[in-house]
Structure 1
Amino acid sequence: IRHAHMVNINRQIMLEGMRADFLKVDELSQRLVERARKAERITCKTPHGTEFEAELSPELKWLKTSGIITRDKWGNLPGGEIFTAPINTNGVFVVDGVVGDYLCERFGDLESNPLTIEVEDNRIRSLRSENKELRDEFRAYTSTDENSNRVGEFAIGTNTACTHVIGHILQDEKIPGVHIAFGHPYAEHTGANWASKTHIDCVGRDFDIWFDGEQVMHRGKFLI
């Protein structure tokens, strides 16, 4: 049995992210995940203010969901990302793409009113946004339980057919670049030893990414 989720799929996603050559997406994802598994630190920056670093552990698995659905694990479509649970993260992450869960439908594309998240030792230290409602809703969501404000996922989108933010988390988190999530670390897959009842993704734009100092992306374009 092979199982795929297409949560709230729409026509735009069918015409964009679902039209990717998933064999090529899988090849890219495999090259990237092989490098990621050897990395101790990943650093990312954007022109919009993100300066963020993830510390990684070989004991926490990297996973690839590239649109090729296997019998081993269900996946979302459109596919195209690699992800892990970081052992630690620090820095500023500017969410000028979208946030996940029900907040995505409510607030949509955040380019004009981004959410700036300061993270210290893997937890939210501060939130800033001119959109007070967004800031307060996000703060409430990430206060649900003791680990809702903890970074549980560090991911890199690999679907090169996704070229712009559409305001829909299912596709936008597959855009080439970094997204992080607060809350549940998919412990059943990554091997993390903690849990949360919540999980909310945060997507940015126009990333530069380095694996242990080696640049693998410039302004959202892969260099590998």
Structure 2
Amino acid sequence: MSFDRVFDYPEVLKKPAMAAMQHAMKLKANEKVLIITNPVRDVALISSALYDAAVELGAIPTIVIQPVKTLVDFAEPAVIAALETEPDVVCSISAEKLGKDKKRLTNPEEYNGQKYYHIHDFLREGKKTVRSFWSPSITIDTFVRTVAIDYIELQKDCSKVAEAIKNGEKIRVTAPGGTDIEFSIAGRKPFVDDGNFSEKGEGGNLPAGEVFISPALESAEGTIFFDGSISLVEGVAVPRTPVKVEIKNGYVSSITGDDTAAEQLEASLKSGEQTALERIENGSFDKKTGERFAKNARHLGEFGIGLNRAADIVGNMLEDEKVYGTCHFAIGSNYDNDAEALIHLDALVKSPTIEVIKEGKSITIMKDGELIL
């Protein structure tokens, strides 16, 4: 029996789709694969190509399609229910975001003393029963250029950077655009997004290509000039002139700049604060939780180093934050889950010099955008 295909995707998607499933996920025969997407052309076509690649490798894929979700929207109940079946592999191919887990924002899962506010995080980071990749706002152009890459080279670069940061005490970042900021990383471990998601509990973006870490709570001091793209609650801004962000005691104290991107970033932070407080009023959060989430909407939650040599700044943060020769900071939630927020807004700094203080010595990781390890 034969059927007419609903999604007749371009031939160029076959190679990166197979690279994602075969090289990044190391997909095995009979594994169950859940692909979550939206009824939007690029992500739907990419998802269809991934579905076929999974079938070719002998796996059992399922696609679930939901409306487009922003950073502060809830995922559809059917999506959460599909995740609760605990598939072996999860692929989130969204036009914007996967969506929040309404049930667990109110009643988080607890595992080994840690609270999880999303079923995906609980299964991957907590129980470690799934492995996954997520590609928010992915386009066909980005998928084709940046996914079928030399993963051995990328993994070597990521390993060197992660090893340099590991057990570090402090990081200082300067850049020609005016950035000069320091923050503690004492007690923090670096995360590696190198495109190797072959074991349960592993996961990251595709395109891959960054090493990132959560600054120690309330430790960051200095000034960041965002002169690359800036993610917002909805969309991405590419400033014509740098946006100046002052950080005091780990929190954004002011945002200034001649570009409208400065106003958009400030509005996005306010949205993150207000949405958290509104959830106290509607009963989704208790008062203490809502106030904590609102406060952390201005906390410096992430520092990352881009290492994908095939990536370009295109106004799409999924790709932009991976660009070799850049670094990025995120305002909002962190990856150690001790500064929860409803937002996580990445923004780029070009050509940084990155130094880590380790055992009292300064180690330069990147100089003017060039990796020198």
TM-score interval w.r.t. the shorter chain?
Answer: 0.7 to 0.9
C-alpha contact (below 8 Å) 2:214/2:334 kept by paired residues: yes
Residues 131-179 of structure 1: per-residue CA shift (max 9 Å, x gap) = 24x22221132231111000111111221222x4111100111113321
The answer as to 2:331 corresponding to 1:200 is: no
C-alpha contact (below 8 Å) 1:55/1:86 kept by paired residues: yes
Tell me what 1:142 maps to: 269
Tell me what 1:127 maps to: 255
Listed as ranges, the matches of 1:1-224 within 5 Å are 1-2=88-89, 3-58=132-187, 60-70=188-198, 71-87=200-216, 88-105=219-236, 107=237, 109-110=238-239, 112-132=240-260, 134-143=261-270, 144=273, 145-162=294-311, 164-176=312-324, 177-188=326-337, 193-212=338-357, 213-224=362-373
The structure-2 alpha-carbon separation of the partners of 1:7 and 1:46, relative to structure 1 and needing over 3 Å to count, comes to same
Residues 36-61 of structure 1: per-residue CA shift (max 9 Å, x gap) = 01221111111111111121122x22
Give the unaligned 5+ runs of structure 1: none
C-alpha contact (below 8 Å) 2:308/2:323 kept by paired residues: yes
Give the Cα–Cα distance (whole angstroms) in 1 for the partners of residues 175 and 367 of structure 2. Answer: 9
Which 4+ stretches in 1 moved above 3 angstroms?
Answer: 101-105
Residue identity in the other structure for 1:181: A
Give the Cα–Cα distance (whole angstroms) in 2 for the partners of residues 20 and 219 of structure 1. Answer: 24
Q: TM-score, normalised by structure 2?
A: 0.54
Q: Offset of 1:220 from its aligned partner?
A: 1.1
Residue identity in the other structure for 1:97: G
Residue identity in the other structure for 1:140: A
Q: Which has the higher contact order (CA 8 A, sep 6+)?
A: 1
Q: Give the 3-state SS of the residue equivalent to 2:342 in structure 1.
A: coil
Residue identity in the other structure for 2:327: V
Structure in which a larger fraction of residues adopt helix: 2
Identity of aligned residues (%): 22
C-alpha contact (below 8 Å) 2:211/2:304 kept by paired residues: yes
Aligned residues: 214
Q: TM-score, normalised by structure 1?
A: 0.88
C-alpha contact (below 8 Å) 1:104/1:167 kept by paired residues: no
Q: Offset of 1:115 from its aligned partner?
A: 1.1
C-alpha contact (below 8 Å) 1:99/1:202 kept by paired residues: yes
Q: Which has the larger radius of gyration?
A: 2
